[in-house]
Amino acid sequence: MKILIGLVVLALVLGQHGVQGERSTIFEDMNLEEQLMILNKPSIKTFHTEEGDIFDCVDIYKQPALDHPLLKNHKIQMRPTSLPEGLINEPASIATSSLSNGVDCPQGTVPIRRTQKEDLLRVKSFSDEYQLTKNIHPHTTIFPNQHMVSLAPNYLWALYYGARASISVHHLDINNDQYTTAQMWLGRRPIDQYSIQAGWMIGSKITGDNLTRSFVYWTKDQSKKTGCFNQLCPGFVQVHKQVTIGSVLKEISVYGEAQKSMDLSVFRDRNTGHWWLQLNGAINVGYLPKTLIPQLVEGLSDIAWGGLAVNPPNGHSPPMGNGHFPKGNFTTAASFTAVKIVDSTNTYRIPDDIDVKFLVENRACYNIEFHGKYLNEGLAFLYGGPGGDCKD
């Protein structure tokens, strides 16, 4: 098997989660109670999950997304009107039942995780505390408290319309002030100004606990004012009545055994221009309406897959992936497999091995190991590491 150990491409700093502000602009002048009024709508049925989440089944046409000023007259799309074509093999994924956390809302309603005052306070303190210092760090990143490991297609000047991957799911013990993700970045230059990011994360400042959860994040101004994670601000339109984004992922890989993976795709609906988020190739969870990030309407200039490890300023970096360095074995390090882009003909396409670039921001703590085309499903790589004192 071909193993190309990553070339570091420093030029690619596609996208950290800017953590300066997780609020939407409409939240700027509101107090917490007003924000909660918008986020928490009258519930038709309520689910309490084993993990302590509360899901309210909310009239689909009254969900918080529609309070966004840009979505005043938004017509909800119940399913994608066009799907990217050209899938070769569907990789096996974690069971759909393990994604719903037992939630099943009545017809015409969608589950919205209830937001508590503490959730907003926690995210706000996180945003303030992690103010990104703009020091240019010579060997790593412009954000010294964040480390990224990624693979990206390198078709200069090409535009993309989506990305897909099967992402192994892991649990890691991290401190409450750290967070770690496995994710895709979909953005448009200039760097990270406009982006959609999705995958799984562990990070109690964002999610309120230390469990592995799916997430989506969006911004259109490098996170200074717009965008947020999941449903922490109006934006993401939920259409599935069982599976939400932000839920606990219950099937977790075990070290040394065949991995449990979530199959995630984010793609643009050809007709409506909305950005769909789909799990397991069939579950249309919801979408980010095109008007939210008008800069992405023409397509994406940057896509990457990998991990992001974030620590408080001057703190220790958390583990990434499953906490182990890649060593040629798909049971002992975290992986991305079936990695594909959506091209301008709305077709899933596997980038050629030679047309990818790698970013490893701190080799002492994390690494990436490229495995080329794997099982005929797409590109594959192992990544991750233990973290620690990553200053170099």
Q: What track of x and - describes contact with ligand NAG for positions 240 through 279 (by CB under 6 A)?
A: ----------------x-----------------------
Minimum distance of ligand NAG from residue 137's CB (angstroms)? 29
- Nearer of residues 112 and 174 to ligand NAG, judged by Cβ: 174
Our finding on whether 295 is near ligand NAG (CB under 6 A) is no
Minimum distance of ligand NAG from residue 179's CB (angstroms)? 13
- Nearer of residues 25 and 210 to ligand NAG, judged by Cβ: 210
Our finding on whether 50 is near ligand NAG (CB under 6 A) is no
Our finding on whether 49 is near ligand NAG (CB under 6 A) is no
- Nearer of residues 143 and 370 to ligand NAG, judged by Cβ: 370
Minimum distance of ligand NAG from residue 322's CB (angstroms)? 12
Q: Judge contact between 287 and 296, C-beta under 8 A.
A: no
Our finding on whether 209 is near ligand NAG (CB under 6 A) is yes
Question: What gap in Å lies between CA 185 and CA 200, rounded to an integer?
Answer: 12
- Nearer of residues 109 and 212 to ligand NAG, judged by Cβ: 212
Our finding on whether 1 is near ligand NAG (CB under 6 A) is no
Q: What track of x and - describes contact with ligand NAG for positions 169 through 188 (by CB under 6 A)?
A: ----x---------------
* Inter-CA distances, 303 with 17, 23, 158, 187, 220, Å: 14, 24, 11, 6, 16
Interface stretch with ligand NAG, choices 310-318, 326-334, 352-360, 361-369 (CB under 6 A): 326-334
Minimum distance of ligand NAG from residue 167's CB (angstroms)? 19
Our finding on whether 332 is near ligand NAG (CB under 6 A) is yes
Our finding on whether 89 is near ligand NAG (CB under 6 A) is no
Our finding on whether 329 is near ligand NAG (CB under 6 A) is yes
Minimum distance of ligand NAG from residue 211's CB (angstroms)? 8
Residues that bind ligand NAG (CB under 6 A): 173, 209-210, 256, 329, 331-332
